[in-house]
Chain A
Amino acid sequence: MAKAKKPKDVEARLISLADEVIAAAKANRDPAFLIPSRTLSNVNFNTKKGIIEMGKAKQERSFFNTGMAKKFMQTMLVADALSELQRQDLTTSLREIYYRTKHTIQDSHENTFDSQGESDPIVEDLEVGLDALREELHVRAENTGTIVGPLVLVDDGDTIDCTRLGKGGYSVPSIVEPDYIQIKKCTADFVLLVEKGTQWNRLSEDKFWKKHNCILLTGNGQPPRGVRRLARRLNDEHKLPVYVLVDNDPWGYYIFSVVKQGSISLAYESQRMAVPDAKFIGLASGDPEEYGLPRNVGIKLNDKDIARAKEIMNYPWFQKKAWQLEIKHMLASGLKYELDSLANKDFRFLTTHYLPKKLKSKKWLD
């Protein structure tokens, strides 16, 4: 029911862009749209909700302005392509949107788009500008997430038992809204979200989820929307705590914060994707010492790492004392550690020692 109604609504919103152009032209004025800006300056940290929210700042995108004319034109082309998806009830990728809207402008040698880097932000502009979710726009990302554990899902009518998917697990689609994926059964005690696919494989191979009755989830680096949204749903609908396991470097910290509070560029999605009570399980700066990792498996922080760490220290959502100490500790040591470095002790050190000890001691950061 909701499924049938929503797309029509989205299509109407896309068509409203054309209406604005027609109305402006008729009134002999410059056509323009308002698009909320997706920058750090337009992001607020809501301490009460514990999530990053988008501010109220908006940018006007008008046609008769040399700097914006092309973007305006591109916005119309992308809106046109998106409405085509709505009419035909198809989903597509960002890459295909790029190819669909690319052509040489008549009587010129200029392309409408020169690279996907130009069309991707326009899709995001339309998401925020029209207040439509990406999946509502029928745009999906690649499936880069994987899940395994005591969980039964229904996808397109197929029932998927995530305990019976071998070592490989189930590939998390980019759209996991209840309309598309239903959680039929979940008996796990918690969710373990692992940054790296390699470590997820280690845990999956060792059947860590069986022994500890948990769901293993990975996004292979920065977790995509589907993974984040699924973690959120498990947290929301089944009250599962979410633990995040990342490398000990500034990028790992940021991945954790994206899962927990949301990201700057997708601040408008935090409401739906952030898991405010997610916990940082490791790798923490104190871990190498605590778990007896030798100094020589560390990697020297480079200039970029140091700059990024200092930047993160200034984000409002990293102001907790424990976090400031954690980052300072890393900067003071001058070293970063990969999850993989735990193999120095033993191939299964992560499965048999590190995680059990962490889970038992509950030594994590909030």
Chain B
Amino acid sequence: MKKSKNGSSALTAAEMGARQREISVSEFFTKNRHLLGFDNPRKALLTCVKEAVDNSLDACEEAGILPEILVKIEVVGEAQPLPSPAQATRFRITITDNGPGIVREQIPRIFAKLLYGSKFHRLRMSRGQQGIGISAAGMYGQLTTGKPVRIISRISDRKPANYFEIQIDTRKNEPIIHKKNEIEWEHARGTQVTIELEGKYQKGRASVDEYLELTSIANPHATFVYSSPEGQTIRYERTFSELPESPREIKPHPYGIELGMLLKMMHDTKSHWLSGFLTGDFSRVSPRTATEICKAAGLDPHAHPRRIARDQAEKIYRAIQSTKIMAPPTDCISPIGEKAILAGLYKEIRCDFYTAATRPPAVYRGNPFVIEAGLAFGTGNGSQAGTAKNTALAEGESHEEDLELARVIRYANRVPLLYQQSSCSAYKAVLETGWKNYGIGQSRGALPQGPLVVFIHMASVWVPFTSESKEAIADYDEIRKEMKLALQECGRRLGTYLRKREHAKSEYNRRNIFALYIEEVAEACGRLKQGKMDTDKLKKQLMKIAVRKTGGEKTDELLGRKKDLEDEMPHSIIITPDGPQGEIPGIQGA
């Protein structure tokens, strides 16, 4: 090799040492932006909108405010006239909320310092987790357009709004403030973020439009107003006026802690005793449990945690795993709830049948979580109307139903997941559910067939994503099992609905068939008899027999109302030709 031949190319330790230097997170990001969801221009546009909207929703809910979020995307550029949205490469996004606002001192760091945030260091269910999102979005804009992030925030109508233009110093991971002043603002309270970035606007799957539609389904308590780059304004109205219950913050459960984290916690703890550390810094560790752990580890409960950290942390770690500890509290999770899911699905998806189920809380690796599922089924034409072709069929043609596959919509802490469907635990759970049991077709290893939307939500203090860009839920057995149970619960209700509909339909068809054929039979008789008979009378007589043979009034009842809907199918809505039945969410004002 080159090195051995020519001594001058070898480096001395000193030279090598001189080359070593700190890598800032921001620098790291600029080289690895795909990790955070900025792989390509189209996804980057979506990610920026998503991070800003997620932050707004989190802020509103924490402050107990029903969210009202404006999303605006505009085409920008030097060329005049501006390119069409489909052709444009540069956009300005503006997200405005009615949240609590941000105090002036915090604004620069929140928007221009990576890994700065309120959410990483606590275990509390929220959309954001690491404090990367919005500052990464701002940095992406800065890297692609050179423009600073602009922020307006106001915390009360008695105070002026603060206006900031900030950039991020990518080497130091510190904000650079370009401009800051107090301004007049038409909103009494809230925050507005404006980012200019390179992107690509394209409708369809995994677009900003789909993201907002799906977000609105899982957040029916929020109103979204979307001004698209094409100049349309779409309103996603609030249909549910209760705020989700505010989730409680919890301490980590010992089972969910890894060795490194344990070491760090032992260093940082304020306790002087090991037993105190265990009871004070974890949830579900009573003094008795703490003594048990110490005993199992062969350590003195009065030892200093920092000393243990150095020498015997691994012993503690193993002792924790072998000690029986109560499952973590689960009241820290705020699921969407069946009613709200129904409201969301009903509002955004036109179907004939809706149902939703919320599972009781469960635990994976010491983290409590709740799985919720929902189904929306049908073409939205009411129960009877088929989608028959409007022409007479020729030989060889048929009214074959096309094998449309179900659409799976996935959520984690109310945030829609738009990418990497196939590696997501939720998607696998849908595949593994036996849909045939519920009257839905399914090929081996494929999604169920039919006009079906499958909704799956995982709410947790810590959602295990497969990557930092938060696109797919990691495949833990406990999680997938809960997902399947939720899907099965919904599936059973769908099955009941389909069976009932089929029954009513077959009675209806039976009568229909007779009525249809009576015409033909009577006319044929008339022709055979060369007009020497009363065809109309024959039709009436035959019709009378038909009604008698198809159960008369009983069929009418079957076709109409179902009294026992509530018992058999809780948390469901059925659309009949006479209108919807079930828990129809009222359109409640804010």
Contacts and interface: CB of A to CB of B under 8 A. Distances in A.
Chain A complexes with chain B:
yes
Nearest to B397: A114
B393 A64 contact: no
Given A69-B514, A109-B390, A79 B546 contact: no
A73 interface: yes
Contacts of A66: 510, 513
Interface stretch (B292-300, B339-347, B364-372, B519-527): B519-527
A353 B162 CA distance: 114
Given A66-B510, A109-B390, A80 B524 contact: yes
Given A63-B517, A105-B516, A109-B390, A17 B541 contact: no
Interface string A103-139: 0111111111011000000000000000000000000
Interface string B531-566: 001000010011011100100000000000000000
Contacts of B525: 18, 21-22, 76
A25 interface: yes
A79 B524 contact: yes
A17 B529 CA distance: 10
Interface in A1-37: 14-15, 17-19, 21-22, 25-26, 28-30
Given A30-B545, A107-B516, A109-B399, A21 B392 contact: no
A72 B393 contact: no
Interface in A208-245: none
Nearest to A16: B528
Contact of A30 (B396, B513, B549): B549
Interface in B58-115: none
Main secondary structure of the interface of B (DSSP, over half): helix
Contacts of B544: 28
Contact of A115 (B390, B395, B527, B529): B395
Contacts of B522: 21
A22 B533 contact: yes
A64 B546 contact: yes
Contact of B528 (A15, A104, A114): A15
B21 interface: no
A110 B516 contact: yes
A202 interface: no
B535 to A, nearest CB: 10
A131 B349 CA distance: 60
B385 to A, nearest CB: 12
A144 interface: no
Interface string B496-514: 0000000000000010011
B389 interface: yes
B232 interface: no
B231 to A, nearest CB: 42
Contacts of B392: 104, 109, 111
Contact of B538 (A25, A77, A80): A25
Given A22-B533, A25-B542, A106 B519 contact: yes
A257 interface: no
B390 A25 contact: no
Contacts of B546: 64
A111 B513 contact: no
A83 interface: yes
A61 interface: no
Nearest to A103: B392
Contacts of A106: 516, 519
Name, among B388, B513, B533, the residue most crowded by chain A CB atoms within 10 Å (CB to CB): B513
A70 interface: yes
A15 B529 contact: yes
B519 A80 contact: no
A83 B517 contact: no
A14 B516 CA distance: 23
Contacts of B4: none
Contact of A21 (B513, B519, B521, B549): B521
Interface in A64-113: 64, 66, 69-70, 72-73, 76-77, 79-80, 83-84, 104-112
B148 to A, nearest CB: 63
A2 B392 CA distance: 44
B524 A25 contact: no
Contact of A111 (B390, B393, B510, B545): B393
B391 interface: yes
Interface string A268-306: 000000000000000000000000000000000000000
Contact of B517 (A14, A22, A26, A70): A70
B225 to A, nearest CB: 43
Contacts of A30: 545, 549
A69 B513 contact: yes
Interface string B391-410: 11101100100000000000
Contacts of A105: 516-517, 519-520
Contacts of A64: 514, 545-546, 549
A76 B393 contact: no
Contacts of A80: 524, 527-528
Contacts of A72: 517, 521
B184 to A, nearest CB: 65
A110 B399 CA distance: 10
Nearest to A115: B395
A108 B528 contact: no
Contacts of A63: 514, 517, 521, 542
B227 to A, nearest CB: 44
A83 B517 CA distance: 20
A56 B494 CA distance: 49
A112 B520 contact: yes
Contacts of B395: 114-115
A41 B376 CA distance: 50
A73 B388 contact: no
A138 B248 CA distance: 88
Contacts of A109: 388-393, 399
Contacts of B529: 15, 18-19, 22
A183 B330 CA distance: 100
A104 B541 CA distance: 24
Nearest to A29: B545
A125 to B, nearest CB: 15
Nearest to B392: A104
Contacts of B510: 66
B42 to A, nearest CB: 43
A64 B514 CA distance: 7
Contacts of A70: 513, 517
A23 to B, nearest CB: 11
B197 to A, nearest CB: 52
B513 A76 contact: no
A22 B519 contact: no
A14 B389 CA distance: 36
Contacts of A22: 525, 529, 533, 538
Interface of B: 388-393, 395-396, 399, 510, 513-514, 516-517, 519-522, 524-525, 527-529, 533, 538, 541-542, 544-546, 549
14 contacts: A15-B528, A15-B529, A21-B521, A25-B541, A30-B545, A30-B549, A64-B514, A66-B513, A73-B521, A76-B525, A80-B527, A80-B528, A106-B519, A115-B396
Given A15-B529, A80-B524, A115-B396, 7 more contacts: A64-B514, A64-B545, A64-B549, A70-B517, A76-B528, A105-B519, A106-B519
Interface of A: 14-15, 17-19, 21-22, 25-26, 28-30, 63-64, 66, 69-70, 72-73, 76-77, 79-80, 83-84, 104-112, 114-115
6 closest A-B pairs by beta carbon, nearest first, are: A25-B541, A76-B524, A18-B528, A18-B525, A73-B517, A104-B392
